Structure 1
């Protein structure tokens, strides 16, 4: 019996024996403890995968304990994840807005005009402006990307912003 306790579970036959011995009991344990919510078959399989991954450090005598501990932790993580998903599903996104119809129409007009003005900018000004304002890059990063000096980048962004400000003046941009 003492030699059986120290069998190398990395050997296929030994691992297969452990698998055949504990798989049904492990699945039943998970099903009775957590129900079908946590998908006991998948969790049991994952526990055996982890056992195989740690086969060098686990003896045959400790395999059952390892499997049940790992499976229990995986099931708890699954239940916790399902709670988060359920909580998120219960939050209903609002399908209304407090803005007036006039505001929504103005916003739509602004976005159309903004897109049109951006398209009309010189490419180098538009690229520098979008890298700065949309992607949040620093002037030095933009200069390095474009292969120009930092002063040139600042000028391009300043020019693009002034063009946008003058073209979209009726919308009072700051």
Structure 2
């Protein structure tokens, strides 16, 4: 790009490049899921699980589910991907849209079964892969500010669970603490975060 090119064009070009990268990545995962549907290749499923697992967990938490339930539902959602891959139609939806829809439906089913307090689930939850980066940045900033108010032990397990997508048992092993301690710290952390978000 020429150095004397207007700044606006550079920004537009960068945005176009980012969109192109996102499109290519979305198409790549769609091809991977379509290939899994045909081959039942466990290696392909492992790739999908590694990519979508942490994202699905964060998505489910955003829908209002507790962390423990989010972990269970993430496992169920990814298991559904394996079982129902043959039903995936790449001409109707991208892999991410299809997988997030599976996860959302599982959330709704769980809420109905448990007859829990009604959660506010948006009718058409946007595909997290397609959300505007500015929205992510604002949420990320608010979340980090909220986590900064937590005691270090609670913030640590929350970070490992929410940002790194680790299971309770993996966190317990990494920190060298009992599994029960991980769960209680996460429960306390989310209670405090809820109070923090309601107050701001």
TM-score, structure 2 normalization: 0.36
Q: Which has more radius of gyration?
A: 1
TM-score, structure 1 normalization: 0.41
